[in-house]
Amino acid sequence: MKLKQQLKTPTSSQLNSHSNLIIVLPKEQIKSKWPVFPHSNTIMERLNRAGKKCTASPFSTDLPNKIGTHATIVCIKKDISSFELLTLCRKAAGEQLKQNPREIALYMPGMEAEPAIRTAEAMLATLLAACYEMPSYKSKKSKPLKLNSLVIYNLPEEQDFDQTFAEAEGNNLARYLTALPPNDLTPALYRKRITTLAKEYGWKMDFLDMKALRKKKAGAFVAVAQGSPVDDAGIVHLRYKPRSKSKLKKLALVGKGICFDTGGMNLKPAQYMHGMHEDMEGSAVALGTLIALTELEVNFEIDCWLALAQNHIGPKAYKQNDVVTACNGTSIEIIHTDAEGRMVLADTLAIATKDKPDLLMDYATLTGSCVGALGTIYSGAFTNKNEFINDIIDAGRDSGERVWPFPLDEDYDKDLESTIADIKQCTLTSGPDHIHAARFLQRFVNKTPWVHVDLSAGNNKGGLAHIATDTTAFGVRFSLDFILNKKQWE
């Protein structure tokens, strides 16, 4: 999509030339005095007639000009949160996109500089997400959106929206991959897509197949993957290196890529197995984050590790009370075969830490208990660095992808004590499984600075913030804010 930034206040003829227009008004100012702009009196009269002197929900009307400009009006508070702003932009954009225009103009009369910049960025993020075509296998195809241009008026100065474009590219691809049906995204087919991306973005790519993982004694990963009738599981390793050859910091991204999760021997019932093609979303978010950072040409190294497998049921599938040993020497007693995500991540994290990254972030649709704790509008976060906690919260608030940290205290380990192995994989009783899973994973990162994101908001009915699809690919926008803007890890 093309972005046109018009720094001056538009003339009446300029505004009247647009067939589709979004007008964002400052709520505080409107309470005392309306800003004067073309058709402001008409809009005010129509709002009053509808009983909405200033509306926080979109109000649409056709302006009385030659082309009948379709205008959507919203009011925002000066201190509106990023999540609320993105949500409001999605609603306003939705009103305009019903007409499938080629161009939308954004006008913010009376807005102060900082709120205007935030609003422009949020609207751009919203439209970039809305215009991306998701997978569809319907015989009758819906008409693609025609929108190819956003015009933004009265910004205080030319703005750099590179991070917004990069985030959208990463999120869009992550959503697309996550929404693919499982027969179109097996580990082998997923790896084929990644190979194409690696060539496009200039990443070096390696693949640890099952033979290589057995050689590394990665018993936790192998245990999950051995039940598959096709020997296509493994760990993809992607490397991004900046142009600078000076000594640089290193970031590691790790993603759970279970392309379908039956639950294994502890077979899921139908209502819980439905949608398990999205159990690879963590890997898609890690990949999307790598794409965004590559687009921004960041000046630090990135290793991205994607744990690709399926959790099948069959005669070779792992089972309860098996004892397996991960590549770092930790023996694990299997308690529940549907806790497979932490198993593939255990070996992947242990392998990723051998390169001694300065920050390790992993993403996984890991536990139902995190959904139980937060619902699907927040994601959970864990870290072994207390100094990261405030930055994690702030990155969630600033990005609009909200996360909340959970405790990671050592006494939770009592629940994971095994009489036969170093650790239990999980417990059979109800409890804080998201915390138990994080404590389990922590054994495999040693002292590496680490942030674990349990993607409870990976799918939210009706969309979330600026994302209109149920599949959100939550995490790319949060990660960019945490990595680039907080900089504490550097």
| Site of tokens 């978010």 | 285
Using an 8 Å Cβ cutoff, are 258 and 310 in contact? yes
Using an 8 Å Cβ cutoff, are 23 and 107 in contact? yes
Element (H or E) spanning 49, and its range? helix 40-49
Cβ contacts of 177 within 8 Å, gap of 6 or more:
185, 190, 193, 280, 284, 287
Cα–Cα distances (Å) from 258 to 25, 278, 452, in that order, read: 45, 8, 17
Output the six-digit token pair for 421: 């192995």
Amino acid at 412: Y
Catalytic residue among 118, 256, 342, 424: 342
Q: Which residues pair with 380 in a beta bridge?
A: 404, 454
Catalytic residue among 193, 241, 268, 385: 268
- Tell me if residue 342 is catalytic: yes
Distance CA 71, CA 63 (A): 7
Distance CA 348, CA 326 (A): 10
> Nearest CA to 448 among 261, 303, 337?
303
Radius of gyration of the chain (CA): 24
The 10 Å CB-count burial string (b at 16+, else e) for 34-65 is: beebbbbeebbebbeeeeeebeeebbbbebeb
Distance CA 341, CA 259 (A): 11
What DSSP character marks residue 483? I
Taking residue 432's Cβ as centre, other Cβ atoms within 10 Å add up to: 19
Distance CA 383, CA 405 (A): 8
Distance CA 251, CA 242 (A): 12
Give the CA-trace dihedral at 39, 45, 50, 52, to 10 degrees. 90
Give the CA-trace dihedral at 26, 31, 33, 36, to 10 degrees. 40
- Tell me if residue 118 is catalytic: no
Cβ contacts of 481 within 8 Å, gap of 6 or more:
395, 398, 399
Distance CA 422, CA 416 (A): 9
Amino acid at 142: S
Cβ contacts of 8 within 8 Å, gap of 6 or more:
153, 154
Give the CA-trace dihedral at 378, 382, 388, 390, to 10 degrees. 40
| Residues with a known catalytic role | 268, 342
